[in-house]
Every structure is written in C-alpha cells, then in structure tokens.
Amino acid sequence: MSEKEILSHTKRIERRSKIITKIIDRLYLIRFILFFTGFGWLILLPWNGLSRRAWIDENALQPGHVNVDWNWGDVQIADTKLALLEDLWNRNASSVERANFIKSQFQEYGLASNTQFYTFGTPSENITGNNAYGVYRAQRTSGMEAIVIAASWVSRQQEGANLQPNLR
C-alpha cells in the first residue's frame, strides 16, 4: 500500500471513530427520545384516526368456536323480519327502498350503517342499484370474532326466469 492510501484509510477510521463517539455521547438522549416516541405511539393506538377500522382474524370462520342458541323469541323475530322483506317484494320496492329498509334495520340493532350507490357496465347494458351495509365494531379481544355476511336480493339460480327474492 502506498503512503497516500494509508493516509486515506487513517482519515476514514478517524472520521468513523468521531461519529461513533458522538453517538455514544448522545446515547442517553437518543434512548430518551425513542422511549417517549414509543410510549406516545402506544397511547395513540386506540384513537380512531390511527387504528384500523376492521380487524380480520383467521380464526373467524373456523366451525365450532361460536355457541349459537336459538329460542322461540328469536324464531318469532326472524319470522317478523321475513314478513317485512316479503312485503318489500310484493309491492315491487325499488333498489333504493330495499337498501334504505335494510339500513334502518341495521340501525335498529345499533350498527353503524349506510347505503352505497353502484353502477357497472356490461357489454349489453349498464347496471345500477343500491347496497346497504352495517358495521359492528367489536372489541379486539381474544374470543371476539368477526364475520361478513352478504346476501343478494335475487338468487342466481332463478336469473332470467320468474325472479323471486332470495329470502328463504
């Protein structure tokens, strides 16, 4: 190695040594800043602006983890809701009316709900309609599971024929 190369290496080692010394001298300050940054982050986690709006758990769809008990009162409530849906069908309610009805039913159960207008095109026509959705914000604890339920108004098996609601 030439003297120039040795001098270059020596300067590089001295620079690194100065940087490491400065970091070590300020390590207490760096630890203090990192600690309070992490602590502040933990305090802010429950805030809605920072947390996720939906929690998805891979165990949510495993059978046998949920106990569902039906009693006669639950059956009567289901029959009442079915009668209301059949009334919508019998009076040929529009997509907007159906979505608003389902939204109001969700709200009766305390769910945050809304409607969503949609439109999409196919080669033969443009299809429009309204969807309704409700969100139940469950606690994020062990044993609390989530499931998404979706139901179409018309069964795909009856498309093109005498369309009937997908109620039963």
In tens, the pLDDT along 58-100 reads 555 555 555 567 788 888 988 998 899 889 888 888 889 999 9
Distance in angstroms (rounded) separating the CA atoms of residues 101 and 82: 13
pLDDT band at 34 (very low <50, low <70, confident <90, very high): very high
Distance in angstroms (rounded) separating the CA atoms of residues 153 and 89: 10
pLDDT band at 50 (very low <50, low <70, confident <90, very high): low
pTM: 0.52
pLDDT at 16: 92
3-state secondary structure of 43: helix
User: What residue ranges in the chain does DSSP mark as E strands?
Assistant: 112-121, 126-135
In tens, the pLDDT along 85-142 reads 889 888 888 889 999 999 999 899 888 888 888 888 888 888 888 888 888 776 666 6
More confident residue, 112 or 49: 112
Distance in angstroms (rounded) separating the CA atoms of residues 104 and 108: 6
